[in-house]
Amino acid sequence: MLRHPAWGAICLLAVSLILCTDKLCTDAGPSSYALDDEDDDGGGDGSSSFSFASPQATPDELAFGFYDGTCPNAEAIVASTVRELFAADSNVAAALVRLFFHDCFVHGCDASVLLDRINGGKSERDAAPNRSLRGFGAVDKIKARLERQCPGTVSCADILALAARDSLVLVGGPTYPVLTGRRDSAGSFYDDVSVPAPNATYAMTLSAFARRGFTERETVALLGAHSIGKVQCRFFRDRIDNFAGTGEPDDSLDADMVGEMRAVCGGDGAAPMEMGYYRQGREVGFGAHYYAKLLAGRGILRSDQQLTAGSTVRWVRAYASGQRGEEAFREDFAHAMVKLSALAPLKGSAGQVRISCSKSIE
């Protein structure tokens, strides 16, 4: 695919404009959406601000169009394969987004979550929070197509970053710039896997995200990814019958929601045994309906419902406030995803580019 010589500069400007809209850049100014729940001082803890550095297209950094000279169709191959997989099974979108989150939360976005066991040692895939991850086969299919076109060129870490963005767009989410040039880790980090648990309190969730540099507002925005996908009953069954040993359901749950959850998780083999935050009339759809459901006591996971239990409720209310809130959520989510994508990537000569995403190069 031929591009004008000025294309790189144009793309760099485009990224800067996207990331720096209304001072959402290195000066950490407020979002362009001044929400009703936002304090006049910007939230005090910086929760209403973002701090993105402008991308630098140097050899040892992530760049826009990193593969233009070595595999010019790379991003198009990822996008077309994701579309094909989505057409066959729409659940793949949520699976790929979740894979990306779980990867970036452990030593950054380095595709370590994809590795099988190495020399008999446990991999991240063996850790409890990752045993329900899906989408590995989808990544393998994308990688195989790239290897046929450009052997040993496109990293699995970049595949995850691009596939997550493309998946979100397919389910109605916002698009956002994805810089490339990440490299893959040579090892997996079983002992370091730490993601917020399904039953986490809001304080525990905030702490987990804060350790990775995310503000309160960014955290609430990122959890909006739960608006897509499905949750297996085993992650919330304790909320509907004997919550915390009380013999009663979680009192933060709406009574009708308890009944719906019991019907899904009846265990008779006929029930689907999983639930999702669906939009009215459709199963797959990204959006702020997730926050409206939390305000109505219809959070499936306790960690979701807990967003209404503390200071985070202001952002839940803001995002649930009609069209204006939806637009603010989409903008905030896109910026937070750019920030997530930039977590501690391996660059330059660090790491490797795997031939198979599940196997490290010896």
Query: What does the buried/exposed string (b/e) look like for 48-68 if buried means 16 or more CB atoms within 10 Å of the residue's CB?
Result: bbbebeebebeeeebbbbbbb
Q: 196 labelled as ligand-binding?
A: yes
Please check whether residue 85 is in contact with residue 141, taking contact to mean a CB–CB distance below 8 angstroms.
Answer: yes
Distance CA 26, CA 302 (A): 35
Q: Does the active-site annotation cover 335?
A: no
pLDDT for 130 equals 87
What is residue 80's DSSP assignment? H
| pLDDT of res. 248 | 92
Q: d(Cα 51, Cα 202) in Å, to the nearest integer?
A: 23
Burial of 246 (C-beta count, 10 Å sphere; 0-12/13-18/19+): exposed
Contacts of residue 159, Cβ cutoff 8 Å, sequence gap at least 6: 78, 111, 139, 142, 143, 146, 357
322 marked ligand binding residue? no
* Residue 292 identity: A
Q: What residue has token string 């995002």?
A: 319
Residues in the chain: 362
pTM value is 0.84
Identify the CA nearest to 316 among candidates 100, 92, 22, 37. 37
C-alpha distances (whole Å) from 234 to each of 6, 226, 276, 305 are 53, 16, 14, 17
Question: Which residue's entry shows tokens 């045993």?
Answer: 131
**How many Cβ atoms from other residues are within 10 Å of residue 41's Cβ?**
7
Quick check: 25 and 307 in contact, CB under 8 A? no
Task: State yes or no: 4 annotated in a binding site.
Answer: no
| 335 assigned ligand-binding residue | no
pLDDT at 48: 37
d(CA 220, CA 290): 11
276 marked ligand binding residue: no
Q: What is the reported pLDDT for 269?
A: 52
CA atoms within 13 Å, Cβ hemisphere of 46: 9
Tokens 């990204």 locate to: 286
Four-CA torsion 161, 162, 167, 170, nearest 10 degrees: 150
The tally of CA atoms less than 13 A away on the side-chain side of residue 162 is 30
Q: Is 226 annotated in some ligand binding site?
A: yes
User: How confident is the model at residue 53, as a pLDDT?
Assistant: 41
Mean pLDDT per segment of 10 residues, for the chain of length 362 residues? 38 39 33 49 38 43 93 97 96 95 95 90 88 94 98 98 97 95 92 86 93 96 93 89 90 93 75 70 76 95 94 96 96 97 93 95 83
- For 39, list phi and psi in degrees, rounded to 5: -70, 155
CA–CA–CA angle 351, 113, 18 (5° rounding) = 75
Catalytic residue among 4, 102, 107, 289, which? Answer: 102
| pLDDT value at residue 3 | 42
**3-class DSSP state for residue 118?**
strand
